């Protein structure tokens, strides 16, 4: 009953015309900025944060949420159209979305991404609101052993679910683990595998790595096709 009451209170505040307008504005601006490759939701919020200073706290939170979701969807636009993920979570969208765009179904891919993002975001928000408190208590029980077992389980699933050669899957996982060790250790503060390069102190950004992996490969493929056409 507390959950239902809190949801009713939240919807009564969020569904006012001022807050709906703020949410629409945040989604629009966030989508326009999120289309730019490499500019993720966090960077978008940091850049657009000053525009919320003149808004009341509830409206500012709603606008920031709209900016976040708009930036998330904007990242899928560049992933579908040009095979360059705008941010880390749009990497998976390149696998099927860009193939649909190459087959002349870019509009359908963008529509599916928008509808899927809306439905999944709505359901996830309700689920988190319902089980957020129990999950928090469960998360506080996790220690070093539980986190280690969780990571090992994820790596095992990555090998089991991989298609093709198991050896290749294990090799890619080991390469990923090697790349994840680059940067500053969170426990000791020591630099690892940075080789004196300041850009590697804050680790290798996943969005940059994904853009290089997918975007550079797409540029090479496009140039190869053009050479054959000539």
Question: Rounded to two decimals, what is the model's pTM?
Answer: 0.62
Average of pLDDT values for 89-112?
81
C-alpha 22/C-alpha 14 separation (Å) is: 10
Average pLDDT of the chain, as a whole number: 78
What's the pLDDT tens digit per position in 130-159? 787 788 888 888 888 888 888 888 888 877
Q: What is the per-residue pLDDT for 28?
A: 86
User: HSE on the CB side for 112, CA within 13 Å?
Assistant: 12
**What residue spans define the domains of the chain?**
1-141
Give the residue ranges of DSSP H helices in the chain.
2-14, 17-34, 41-48, 57-82, 93-102, 106-140, 144-160, 166-180, 206-210, 216-229
Q: Taking a C-beta distance cutoff of 8 angstroms, is the pair 87, 69 a contact?
A: no
Which residues are 184's β-sheet partners? 191
């Amino acid at each position: 009953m507390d959950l239902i009451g809190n949801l009713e209170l939240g919807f009564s505040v969020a569904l006012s015309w001022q807050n709906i307008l703020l949410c629409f504005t945040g989604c629009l601006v966030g989508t326009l900025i999120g289309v730019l490759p490499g500019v993720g939701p966090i960077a978008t919020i940091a850049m657009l944060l000053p525009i919320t200073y003149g808004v009341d706290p509830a409206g500012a939170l709603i606008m920031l949420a709209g900016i976040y979701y708009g930036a998330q969807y904007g990242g899928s636009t560049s992933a579908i159209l040009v095979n360059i993920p705008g941010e880390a979570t749009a990497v998976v969208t390149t696998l099927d979305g860009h193939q649909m765009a190459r087959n002349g179904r870019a509009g359908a891919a963008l529509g599916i991404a928008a509808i899927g993002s809306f439905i999944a975001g709505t359901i996830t928000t309700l689920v988190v609101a319902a089980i957020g408190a129990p999950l928090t208590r469960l998360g506080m029980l996790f220690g070093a052993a539980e986190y280690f077992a969780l990571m090992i389980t994820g790596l095992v699933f990555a090998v089991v679910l991989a298609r093709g050669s198991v050896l290749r899957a294990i090799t890619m996982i080991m390469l990923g683990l090697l790349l994840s060790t680059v940067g500053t250790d969170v426990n000791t503060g020591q630099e690892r595998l940075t080789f004196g390069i300041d850009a590697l102190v804050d680790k290798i950004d996943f969005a940059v790595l994904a853009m290089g992996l997918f975007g550079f490969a797409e540029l090479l493929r496009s140039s190869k096709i053009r050479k054959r056409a000539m």
